[in-house]
Amino acid sequence: MYFCIRMIIETIGHASLVIRNNEKKPVLLTDPWLIGSVYWRSWWLQNYPTTAEIEELTNVKYCYITHEHPDHYHTASIRKLGKNPTYISALLPQDNISTFLGSQGNKTKSLKTLYLV
């Protein structure tokens, strides 16, 4: 028996990727910066997601945040996504992302990282 699993990957916002399942529902979002500006209002998105796109992303199951720069870890966009996603980040020596998001009542997971020397 064979299963055909198709992933649909699209870019949205600045550095965000959305991975969708066979039913075209969002499963994973990375590095959310979807609204507003960053770096003291000096950076703006070139193409903002529509209200409908952002509303759809509030149903995403997982949101992976790669690092703490505000164009990848945008707290206003995270507040807009709400408490539905599980926010995933790397377990770094100072686990600031998961600690902060967890203190705000969000579901979080930290992934161990592999350091190559």
Integer Cα distance of 1 and 66 in angstroms: 36
**pLDDT greater at residue 13 or residue 63:** 63
Q: pTM of the prediction?
A: 0.89
CATH class of 8-112: alpha beta
User: Which pair of tokens denotes residue 16?
Assistant: 């965000």
In this structure, are residues 48 and 36 in contact, taking their beta carbons and an 8 Å threshold?
no
Model confidence pLDDT, tens digit, residues 60-72:
999 999 999 999 9
Mean pLDDT of the chain: 91
Integer Cα distance of 79 and 6 in angstroms: 30
Looking at 3-12, 24-33, 35-44, which range is the least confident one? Answer: 3-12
